[in-house]
Amino acid sequence: MKFSRKSLLRELAGLAQLAGSPTRIVIAFSGGLDSTVLLHALATRADALDAKILAVHVDHGLHKKSREWSEHCERVVHDWNIEFVSLRVKVDRESGLGPEAAARTARYDALRRLVEAGDWLISAHHKDDQAETLLLNLMRGSGPAGLAGIGEVQPFAAGWLVRPLLPYSRRELLEYATKHELAWIDDPSNEDRSYDRNYLRHEVIPVIEARWPEASSRLRLSAQLAGEAATLLDQLAEADWHTLGDRPDALSLPLLRQLPPERQRNLIRYIVRELGLPSPPASVLHSIVDDLIPAREDAQPLVEWSGVQVRRYRDSVYLLQAGPAEPPATERMFEGGRVDLGPGCGELALESGASTGLSDTVVAAGLRVRFREGGEKIKLADQTHTKKLKKLLQEEGIVPWMRERLPLVYSAGELVAVADLWIADAAKSEPGTAVRWVNRPPLH
């Protein structure tokens, strides 16, 4: 299939059947061959598009010429009368993801903040990129979702991520660029064979194509078939999920055990993705299914990866974003009626005029937030005696890993509230100032 402006418009029309027509097209413009061809083809047929066009260049700051490249992109976009934005990002070199993945994460994080409802973010991935991605994922031991490679359309931020060049090869894009005398950036890092993708591109795929000239097209077809299989597995996981209750972060252990191991792994993989958490490696999935789920009833097993935790307590399996290892050791003060509880723990907020809450006298004496040290006691309105907080938490079924992280509210040295769970009888008032725990991690 030969690439042209007309064929690109046909691709966009077909993709609109899946994502709806965009109100704005945001083009990820690196200045390289692929994105230059994409931007030129759209800019010169802007009259046929019922959408504004915005070109966005992300400067990773990883190369000494990155500033020059950004300036080149701005000149090109200006010449084609397209709106332009340049974003400079900081790549986390210590993330453990590797340089390619870390740069990609920083880039998409920046673009995600830019994409609004009704937007299409268009990237210039093509048929050869798809072949490289499939082979990379195959070497990593990926399942059907990974072998599906690069999707043509997928939700992204408030809009959609769309890749209309997947049917076309790099050779076809080069022919277009040569015909229209386009100028583009050649990033020297694309020649560095130490990167897996470059090694495949320069050393492996040419050998494959020498034997099978249509290899990229065949690999793209395989990716489409794997995508269909992945969709069916997602549908199965969604159906299984509905049988386990309506909480994605807490799965019924008895019902989960009724599923065979392969469906347990499929379900957990699906839910993790739906929660927006990093995908678990196959070895982690096997640890969850083979070790955590069948563990003893009195055990408190834990499986972790990339800032995610899977825990078990009583009859539930919990999928969580890992919080800090220890609660803060210092006292925290309410500022503007709010107090930040630290990463992954939300914040406490005061709400005056609630039907029930802390009395004006207690609030006026000043409120401070501390965390459990052990031995705390509180007397509640419906109880005749003071009760140990440890006993209350056990009776309430608070998960063990959150008991040390519960924010305790003190006034004049006295415990007056336990998060937004309980208020001390002597501090209670109707109406009063309620304590609200915003973005509260799961407690039950």
Superfamily of domain covering 5-223: HUPs (3.40.50.620)
Count of alpha carbons within 13 angstroms of residue 331, beta-carbon side: 9
What is the spatial distance between Cα 268 and Cα 256, in angstroms, rounded to a whole number?
A: 10
How many angstroms separate the Cα of 307 from the Cα of each of 163, 277, 320, 346?
Answer: 30, 8, 9, 16
CA distances from 238 to 276, 288, 338 (A): 15, 19, 37
Contacts of 373 (CB under 8 A, 6+ apart): none
pTM: 0.69
Instruction: Return d(Cα 307, Cα 292) in angstroms, integer.
Output: 18
What pLDDT was estimated at residue 236? 95
Q: Is 255:243 a contact under the CB 8 Å cutoff?
A: yes
Measured in degrees and rounded to the nearest 5, phi and psi for residue 119 equal -85, 150
Q: How far is the C-alpha of 95 from the C-alpha of 106, rounded, in Å?
A: 11
Pair 73, 35: CB distance under 8 Å: no
- What DSSP line would sit under 95-108, residue for residue? SSS-HHHHHHHHHH
- The CATH classification of domain 247-321, taken from the options 1.20.59.20, 3.20.20.140, 2.160.10.10, 3.40.710.10: 1.20.59.20
pLDDT at residue 177, rounded to an integer: 95
Bridge partners (DSSP) listed for residue 119: 24
pLDDT at position 8: 92
3-class state of residue 110 by DSSP? helix
What are the pLDDT tens digits along the chain (444 aa)? 689 999 999 999 999 998 999 999 999 999 999 999 999 999 998 888 888 999 999 887 767 788 888 899 999 999 999 999 998 877 776 666 666 777 788 888 889 989 999 999 999 999 999 999 899 888 877 888 888 888 889 888 889 999 999 999 999 999 999 999 999 998 887 888 888 888 998 899 999 999 998 888 888 888 889 889 989 999 999 999 988 877 777 899 999 999 999 999 999 999 988 887 888 888 899 999 999 999 888 788 889 888 788 988 888 898 887 765 566 667 787 878 888 887 778 888 888 888 988 888 988 888 888 888 888 888 887 777 888 888 888 888 888 888 888 888 888 888 888 888 888 888 888 898 888 988 888 788
Per-residue confidence (pLDDT) for residue 427, from 0 to 100: 83
In the chain, domain spans: 5-223, 247-321, 332-438
Residues 288-305 pLDDT 10s? 999 999 988 878 888 988
pLDDT of residue 180: 95
Q: Mark out the alpha helices in 180-307 (DSSP H runs).
A: 196-199, 205-211, 215-243, 253-257, 261-274, 282-287
Q: pLDDT tens for residues 166-198?
A: 999 999 999 999 999 999 998 887 888 888 888
Please return the burial class of 30, using the count of CB atoms within 10 Å of its CB with bins 0-12, 13-18 and 19+.
Answer: buried
